[in-house]
A and B are shown apart, each in its own frame.
Chain A
Amino acid sequence: MSALFRNKIFITILLIAIGIGGYSFMFTDEIDFNADVKPIFNKKCISCHGGVKKKSGFSLLFPAEAFGPTESGKTAIVPGDPDASEMIKRIKHHDPEERMPYKEAPLSDEEIETLTKWVRQGAKWGDHWAYVPVKQQTVPKLKRRLFGILPSPYTDWVKNDVDHFVLDKLKDKDLEPSPEADKHVLLRRAALDIIGMPAPEGIAKHFLANNSPNAYEQLVDTLLSLPSYGEKWTSMWLDLARYADTKGYERDDVRKIWRYRDWLIKAFNADKPYNVFLTEQIAGDLLPDATDEQFIATAFHRNSMTNDEGGTDNEEFRTAAVLDRVNTTWDVLLGTTFACVQCHSHPYDPFRHEDYYKFMAFFNNTRDEDTFGEYPLLWEYKHEDSVKYENVVKWFRQNVSEEECGNVIQFLKTRQPSINSLTADSFVNGELADTKWLALRNYSRARFRNVDLTNRERLLMRMQSWVPDGKLEIHLDDPAGPLLTSFIVPLANKGWMLHEVDIKPAQGKHNLYFVYQSAKLEKDRNGMMFDWLTFTNYLPGKEKPGYDSAVAGFFHLISKGDAITTPVMVENPVYMQRKTQVFERGNWTAKTKEVQPNVPASLNPFPKGAPRNRLGLAQWMTDKKNPLTARTMVNRVWEQLFGTGLAETLEDLGSQGIAPTHPELLDHLAYQFMNDDNWSVKKLIREIVLSATYRQDSRVTPEALEKDKFNRYYARGPRVRLSAEQMRDQALAVSGTLFPEMYGPSSKPWQPDGIWNSPYSGGEKWENTYGPERYRRAVYTYWKRTSGYPSMLNFDAMQREVCAARRIRTNTPLQALTLLNDYAYVDISRQFAFGLQKEYSDVNASIAAAYEKATGRPASSERMAVLQSLYKEALAKFKKDADATCEMAGLQDEHNKPETAALIVVVHSIMNLDEVITKP
């Protein structure tokens, strides 16, 4: 045998061996449904065989439908038997009429192979990672080198568990972690992330001088304890809550809901456990003995829009608000896109069309009805009336039953339950004035449907009346039916007033016909108008001493109590409950089958014994078995700190979202968040910012950039442009202008003229504030939905018409124009320069200090040279131009000097630097 021949045999044997090895390797290689199969289904099959269309009765969304018989009677997938599986036959078919995907390019050989193998291996269905409960993760260990003789080179680098997970992936990507960043950098980075602006001077100095090994840890703890922490994290939450100071839609009139913003700040600062934080926002009103604060928390879902435009259908916009609450809950709290389920079953994820409406049923029984007054409101009495309120409540507490007292308190706080007059119908000679209030003319009538009168004694109404002789009759079930009450309507032409009359006893629910006449009325003139009305009882405790004064106090409070009012959630009493029906293809006018409140079957079960209302829903969301709540929040916090989430699509952890880069880390943090840390957001932030991963230097080499352009594997520290809010707050803080007043109504800092040019603004105008309030933090800036604060919009702030689970950062010339030319930044630079001049007599010292304050580190000589040369050029210019000097320095005598004007230009330029507007 020639050597050549032997070699050939050898090679052949080798090839066969490799072939067998490869084959058996392929054979034993388990196909993973989520990683390998689901992506093919989603891309190639599901548009015809999914949640929207189920061609031939075959869908790949739920196992029951995938493995069940199809319309043709053939079974598409027979686990273990590819040859018997119609799906496999059809993807391989040679006849294009028979081959799937129908009329599309055939699947690649690789894809066919994957699917065939998957079927052969038993067609194991896998649940998507985000829909299975979070499990405790094993923290990867450091690998020792040289057969275990030497310790890992990263022993000193690692700070906590986060780093182990990160290191593991870095190794896969052949990347080396970066060393810890310089102290100045750490200080500025942590402060911007934790409190949204640079650290106060004292804290900064202390940290830089502190040589203790846990100096950084101490810094983080100090920052987390500052009140400004709550402000920073609230600005993030406001996008999720679609918070605005206006109602939205055409009129976009004022809404007073800033108490909710303040609630958030306090809740973050108190580190309210996230499960409680959510429960109060979803269902605070349903908690036993709900406090005012818990009611305020429910304003979360009263941030949906209200339509004041005349001629609009209030039920349509009430429904729109309810749908918005469903979508917001899923989008921002559960990281799942649910809006598509409104019209049809989810195209990619295991949610059925009906699931949407079952879920909506939780939200469909609140008292709000798109009223102009945005009822229900919470009345928080202030000044003397808060004392009066306490006294009235005290009297009832002492003198009547707990239940009776509860009703009194609820009415004092919320004016509920009551009937909004815009729910009237069957008008004759009357109508809803501007589609907002029931208005009646001479010989007019209107109907209120299904009003429960069981054991009621009185009718209390909020109304106006323009004639003194109007007569109102209320008939049961027919315009000529039995009379419930009849009375002369008093003149009330100075705005809304409360009026109360007796009614005859009646039981059960009735349609009420309001019949009105007035001899004094000209044809076509309104005689009276209703805001709301309620059938009620005499206040309890009649026989007890002090009753009259308690009653007087009660009426004083409900008619003219001095209070801050905030839209909140109040649940319908049983007798006012709405039923919820499925909307055919999402159209609210096409109501079909009735459904009961429930959660999708594909997620954790509804907790046993939990009430089928928003409170039960909150329990379900914050159940540790809920797979989405903790993951969504952890992912969001990570995104705030690193610029991108562990799963990039914060709003969609579903199968169409981008898969997490570090699923184990995400689950590890989520598990720890729920269990060890008892849902503490501060502990979560602390854990992440104390990691070596977070502390890394953010400088990047071209090679590392090539390997990981977007720093998804964290071989360097996060370097991300500041948010609109951080940008403003930082400028205020470093310039020394920051006005630290917390809480209260929003402020209107400087914005260019003519921005609010909408046809109807409820008479409100943007008047620039000139006092120190113009230097309040961004979180207090008045937000008009149809016309947001322009400089913040230019930096990717959201309009907040609907919730925004995530901002996408852009980099545009308009941003440059904003920082270069917005008067607000000129003004801040000016104040900054004035302060520097007071502090330093030498201009170079002023420039150096400005740079250091703005960037958190001393200026290099190269940078100083650039700034000094700019100063010189500006100075020469201003020396020759007294007018320009005066304009730049802001007309103030003592500052009207070329030196000051030139320093302002330099300071202003510093505020524009990339390193200033970027987290280091």
Chain B
Amino acid sequence: MEPKDKIYQEAKQRSLEYTTRRHFLKECRTGIGVMALGSFLSGCDWLSTKKSATAAAFDVNNPLAPKAPHFAGKAKSVIYLHMAGAPSQLELFDYKPELTKMHGQPCPQSFIEGKKFAFIRGVPTLLGPQAEFKQYGKSGIWLSNNLPHFQTVVDEVSLLKAVTTDQFNHAPAQLLMHTGSARLGRPSMGSWVTYGLGSENSNLPGFVVLTSGGSNPDAGKSVWGSGFLPSVYQGIQCRSAGDPVLFIKDPEGMDRDLKKASIDAINAINKSSYEEFGDPETLSRISQYEMAFKMQVTVPEVMNINDEPQYIHDMYGTKPGQTAFANNALLARKLVEKGVRFVQLFDWGWDTHGTGPDGSLGIGLINKCREVDKAMTALLLDLKQRGLLEETLIVWGGEFGRTPMQENREGKQNGWTGRDHHSDAFTIWMAGAGIKKGFSHGETDEIGYNAVTGKVSVYDIQATILQQLGFDHEKLTYEFQGRPFRLTDVHGKLINEIIA
């Protein structure tokens, strides 16, 4: 079959499965009296006809029921690897030999006039690349020696080297990246996707967040919040220490059998309540308790990496028992394997201002690269060997880039090599799910200050991610405060150049 026909067939199949399921579930209401309160009741579509201005697009009683996108997308899932603090593109991806030559010279006025920086004041000096660059792979893409593992898979990815944002502080820039607005209050990308697609696996959340690096991202939980969408679409933070999901563990002294007995008793009485009051919410509650019981098994299972074979652990460089990016990368693979739609990883600690060794390009950045390089490479290879890379979109990047200048603060040069926040050009890479392989899009000027060609905005990236999932970013909307809102607000252009 031609690939085009195959896509069409798949879309038809999906749509068919969807409607059949809806039909079947609608029917089940008539048989409610005789039906055992089995697990598939969770989808019993009692209120499918509910319509209201805000609730038109989802069913309050089964808000996570799988839904069809606008068209058949290449991606079934997204793994977004966010390096919070903003990694330096100039030490990783954007090779600028001219900058080496100009190292130590005062930054030309034309670059800094009328510009605002988070910390730099006065005239800073240019800082040459603090890493060695070479070309790798068949594609001959330039990469630095900070990413020895990633060099081996560069032919799988598309680099976007001219990404721009309009925020130069962490929290607003992270919010813009993930919610389409620098202000708090909008739904995050994962929430939009879960709202649009529902969840494939009713025993797991549709949108999972994993954090590493010792801290949550600067913008807090709002980067995976549901904003004005119902809270059911917010990202569920899974944790590698403590309970993997809040409240997933049985209370002390209660084993599975006793929990089952307890839920059976609760649901038996709830069933009487339903018979007495006839409230459909009660039925939904019964199924939510059943689902909760199952999630208590499935979530810890999927969150447990101990049973993975040793070669997988070696490949990722996991650190069992600790909170580590490598563990989270492996978990991300496990989660998409189980049908989770959107997996969001945040790794904190990439803010290399040069104010201390941990925040320097010479030490801090190299350490951060050691923590993620192997694991992100392993994730690509692992998904590929399982045939999942074709349907999983991976996105890697920070919230902005870093200046070609050495940072000074209050007029004096910082003690370590470091760069300030930079919103005019930075690099993000994407891979899998219909993204071109071994491709580089966009160029910056000779010192890496401004995007020159192939400039893309944060909104363009969001539009492209939604596109790969089967959504027209202009049509995935939610009515709020009297108008339809969307992730990309009034912006967003597809980056067709990187779509295979």
Contact = CB atoms under 8 A, between A and B. Distances in A.
Interface stretch (A129-137, A221-229, A802-810): A802-810
Contact of B242 (A248, A753, A814): A753
A705 to B, nearest CB: 6
Contacts of A884: 253-255
Contacts of B272: 860, 862-863
Interface in A309-350: 309-313, 320, 331, 337, 339-340, 346-349
Interface string A710-721: 100000000101
Interface string B42-56: 000001011011110
Interface in A753-776: 753-755, 757-760
A815 B258 CA distance: 19
Given A311-B119, A709-B50, A786-B221, A699 B277 contact: yes
B312 interface: no
Interface string B247-260: 11111111101110
Interface string B216-229: 10111110010000
Nearest to A721: B281
B220 A754 contact: no
B118 interface: yes
Interface stretch (A204-212, A358-366, A415-423, A819-827): A819-827
Contacts of B170: 250, 309
Interface in B161-220: 168-171, 183-185, 211, 215-216, 218-220
A626 to B, nearest CB: 20
Given A700-B278, A866-B268, A870-B262, A821 B251 contact: yes
Contacts of B215: 757-759
A838 to B, nearest CB: 21
B28 interface: no
A802 B253 contact: no
B53 A700 contact: no
Nearest to B117: A311
B500 interface: no
B308 interface: no
Contact of A754 (B53, B54, B230, B241): B241
Contacts of B118: 310-311
A758 B118 CA distance: 20
Interface stretch (B132-140, B142-150, B231-239, B313-321): B231-239
Interface in A882-920: 883-889, 901, 905-906, 908-909, 912-915, 918
A656 B218 contact: no
Contacts of A755: 246
B254 A799 contact: no
A705 B280 contact: yes
A310 B411 CA distance: 16
Given A311-B169, A801-B184, A813-B295, A909 B277 contact: no
Interface in A863-882: 863, 866-867, 869-870, 873-874, 877-878
A657 B481 CA distance: 9
Contacts of A433: 410
B282 interface: yes
Contacts of A818: 246-247
B411 A429 contact: yes
A658 interface: yes
B278 A816 contact: no
A648 interface: yes
Contacts of B253: 878, 883-889, 901
Contacts of B266: 909, 912-913
B40 to A, nearest CB: 15
B348 interface: yes
B261 A799 contact: no
Interface residues of B, number: 89
A248 B54 contact: no
A698 to B, nearest CB: 6
A709 B61 CA distance: 13
Contact of A873 (B258, B273, B411): B258
A787 B184 CA distance: 13
B296 A817 contact: yes
A821 B289 CA distance: 12
B116 to A, nearest CB: 8
A346 B482 CA distance: 10
A305 B184 contact: yes
A303 interface: no
Contacts of B232: 810, 812, 814
B292 interface: yes
Contact of B184 (A699, A709, A802, A877): A802
Interface string A512-553: 000000000001101000000000000000000000000000
Interface string B269-303: 11011101111111011101101100110000000
Contacts of B356: none
Given A305-B184, A754-B242, A811-B288, A702 B282 contact: no
Contact of B53 (A439, A657, A794): A657
A758 B220 contact: yes
A652 interface: yes
Interface in B33-91: 47, 49-50, 52-55, 60-61, 63
Contacts of B183: 320
A592 B266 CA distance: 63
B412 interface: yes
Nearest to B483: A340
Contacts of A651: 481
Contact of A808 (B54, B254, B265, B281): B54
Interface string A248-271: 111010000000000000000000
A878 B211 CA distance: 38
A648 B53 contact: yes
B249 A821 contact: yes
B23 interface: no
B281 A918 contact: yes
Given A252-B220, A719-B279, A757-B215, A816 B291 contact: yes
Given A340-B483, A870-B262, A913-B269, A312 B169 contact: yes
Contacts of B281: 719, 721, 811, 914, 918
A431 interface: yes
A348 B63 CA distance: 29
Contact of B270 (A701, A812, A914): A914
A243 to B, nearest CB: 15
A309 B218 CA distance: 10
A796 B117 CA distance: 39
A648 B51 CA distance: 12
A339 B481 contact: yes
B119 A888 contact: no
Contact of B285 (A719, A811, A867): A811
10 contacts: A309-B218, A310-B118, A757-B215, A785-B184, A812-B288, A814-B292, A817-B247, A888-B254, A913-B273, A915-B277
Interface of A: 248-250, 252, 305, 309-313, 320, 331, 337, 339-340, 346-349, 429, 431, 433, 439, 441, 523-524, 526, 648-649, 651-652, 654, 656-658, 698-702, 705, 709-710, 719, 721, 752-755, 757-760, 785-787, 790-791, 793-794, 796, 799, 801-802, 808-818, 820-823, 826, 860, 862-863, 866-867, 869-870, 873-874, 877-878, 883-889, 901, 905-906, 908-909, 912-915, 918
The 10 closest A-B pairs by CB, nearest first: A786-B220, A888-B253, A887-B253, A250-B171, A311-B118, A337-B482, A816-B292, A887-B252, A801-B184, A337-B481
Interface of B: 47, 49-50, 52-55, 60-61, 63, 116-119, 121, 168-171, 183-185, 211, 215-216, 218-222, 225, 230-232, 236, 239, 241-243, 245-255, 257-259, 261-266, 268-270, 272-274, 276-282, 284-286, 288-289, 291-292, 295-296, 348, 410-412, 421, 481-483
Given A709-B50, A752-B247, 14 more contacts: A340-B483, A523-B412, A755-B246, A757-B216, A759-B216, A759-B218, A759-B348, A786-B222, A796-B231, A810-B60, A817-B247, A870-B264, A878-B253, A901-B253
